[in-house]
Structure 1
Amino acid sequence: MGSRIDDVTPSYYVEHLATFAVGRQFGLTFPADGIRKLKQMEKNSAIWAQPLVLRFRQNGVTVEDENGDLVEQFPLELIEQPTAHVSSDPRDTYNNILLFIVREDTRSKRSSTPTEMHIFQCNRVAATEVADDLQWYIRGQFRKVRPGRRNSGPAQVYVPPEFLQYPTDEVSMHGDNAELFERDVNTLNRCFDDIERFVARIQSAAFAQRELEQQAHRYRTAQRRDKRGGPPPPDPNGILQMRAQLPIEPEFVDIFRKFKLSFNLLAKLKNHIHEPNAPELLHFLFTPLTVILEACHWGLGRNIAPQIVSPLLSLEARELMQNCLTSKESDVWMNLGEAWRTPPEDWAGPLPPPYRPVFVDGFAPYGLPEQQRPPPAAYPAPLHRGESAPPVHYKPYPRDRSVDTVGFAWHSRSAVRMCRLSFCFFFPVFS
């Protein structure tokens, strides 16, 4: 049964990063070992940050989802070494980390949960404060901890004010090409960011599933050794079970639409993208696309990509793909179906509705989708909402202009990172 986050119990919004088995056989004994292993996972783009809530109670620590539903709970007497790891290195994505160890419950010989280390990124609260609060709770000094929430909760969907206030007349809407150019670059960057996060989430599910399989193996081994029946089976709930779940169908739909938008934007910006250029970025996109297609078939039991109609590919995007894809990439593209290679000019039947993406960070470049839009508001027109040819008053970007002049954030290092995903990803066999 879910419980709402109250103003009495100390609670903290966090993101679960990893859970590791602790022991010499796992090469992990101390908090520093957990940070080292986490950084290695981060290098492999294997971390999916799962939003959760930590709540401290006098009998234990509960882990809840954002709706207040219980995910896992740890008795206080089993928790040790609450540690904060704070970094000022700008290269560290996760720089405000809380970790603690939950010992195996040796009070019962029938325990099936090994000693584990749980690692969280703290949001809007210092990890040092959370670690100190947890230490006070472990010592039973509850009054030393300030009650209530320590942060303002999950980020809300954010629509940049400059887009909410965008003029509606055609001249002002399209007159400032530099602003439109920068918007397209920012949108493409966020497509790449969301795609990278999505693959990291899939990979995290694979790692969690592997750990669950190892737990199940230990359980079966203990059962064979214990004539009295052995320990109870592993908890069917918990953090690992939650992390082992793949994205649901609407999430796959959303990421496939962002791939199509990326193809359109690459074609639109191809004359201004350098190091890497548009064809190179196109190749990089097909690496995570292949991974996500496999995960979709694996998780949903079917390939839903051919059903994704909006946004339609522009003529320029189709031409770019026809000219630049390798034979293997072209096979993947052809298997995606007509909706992935037919421009609006050739589309039979009514044109699909415009695609208005909302990104993980809340950025909504073309305004919110209809069900989320606060009327009345004026937004830039979505890219390729019905025609792939530019409007008559459209002025092309200056040919001598480079994306470097407006800060093309997803540079070659990030491109290489996305490319590397294919080498570290694996699909375990699910039982």
Structure 2
Amino acid sequence: MTRILRIELRRSAVLWAAATLLITGAWLLYSARERWTTGYMLLALDQRWYLPLLLGLAMAAGAAQGRRDHRCGVGELFASVPRPRAQQVVPMLLAYGAGMFAAYAGATGLAALRIVGTAHYLRAGAFAGVVAAGATAVVAAAWFGLAAGRILPYIATAPALAIASMASPLVAQGITGHREWLSSLLFPAYGLDGPTDFVSLPGRFSLAQVCYLTGLAAGAALLFAAAHRRARLTALLPPALGAVAAVLILQGGSAYAEDPIDPVARELVCTPDTPRVCVARLHGGVLPEVTPPVRAAIATLARLPNGPSRAQEYLGPGNKALEQSADTLLVPFAIGEDGHVIDPDRIEGYLLDNVGVLPFPCPEGRSGPDPAAVRAATSWLLGTEPEGPDAENDRARELLRSLRKLDEREAATRVAATRQAVLTCAPGPASAP
């Protein structure tokens, strides 16, 4: 079997097909970087976005290979060989299966090299499940292409399969009756665009997808190996069993969670010394980049009584009520395509703007403090002047002159009162420093 497999690798186009898939997959990831430089799970999920194209390539390669016997006119010759049809096709199935699986996993590995120095958080099981489901889908596509090329040995078969694969996301919801869980199960590239960096895919869902896709792959292999039309009917059984197993695992969709979040990725990791600076575990690799400008901002705000003594990453709107307090400085930042923080030199200035408070909108019915007073308090902290010729800046400059006439302690107390008013959306003393 090993010798036959080596011969098949040399004679068929499987190596070229695998190399094309590997290069295309890696090129797509590197040229269209969006979220995945933040972490490994996002890399695996983003790679699945490109599955319609990768599946199309795999099916087209399989279909071109599947029509080889017809193209060479040796169908009757091979049919007369006194060996079961299944034994004849096993080397081809193994070659294409292993080649496609390795190409998909290899593209993931090549992309992961870019973030190995900055992405420190990895849930190996969940990551492996997402990659395994994508790789199994590519194997199933290649085997289905082999079967389609053998049954329909036409030149148009390969491009037709590729086009159908790339168009599949457009009809996903229509086919499944707009059931999100079923669309995500049947179409592995669907429904992976979570709202934050902490999006994940539960192991249960990956297991369900692997069961379903394995059934498809087994059915495609039986279809390719079938010698007669009646035997082709048996190819329907594995996909049906795989789909049933997947539905049972997901409990008919009740176990499906839309936009699932990895809670461990959101846990805070902090500097060992004070003042403590904390970021999400997912972003732990950039903590050394964030800490210096954040501590510089905390040192500036230390001029105020009861100023912030710690800082943590701002994780999203749901954390406003818990985290926006006088003692804690919220730190918003973004990670660029190189895996490092974008413009770390600007973090300090951004944190000190608006007297060290993120500019959340006030609840309905609250107007908040006088914007001119906030600008004056911020300028007092930074030692700058409000810029601009408008009336609000004129008012801010007037209030700033009043602040600078006071002694340091009194001015700091008034600025702290302004900051507290911004935090609580109250007019308070912030309207008249």
Shorter chain as denominator, the TM-score bin is: under 0.3
- Larger fraction in helix: 2
The TM-score with structure 1 as length reference comes to 0.28
- Larger fraction in strand: 1
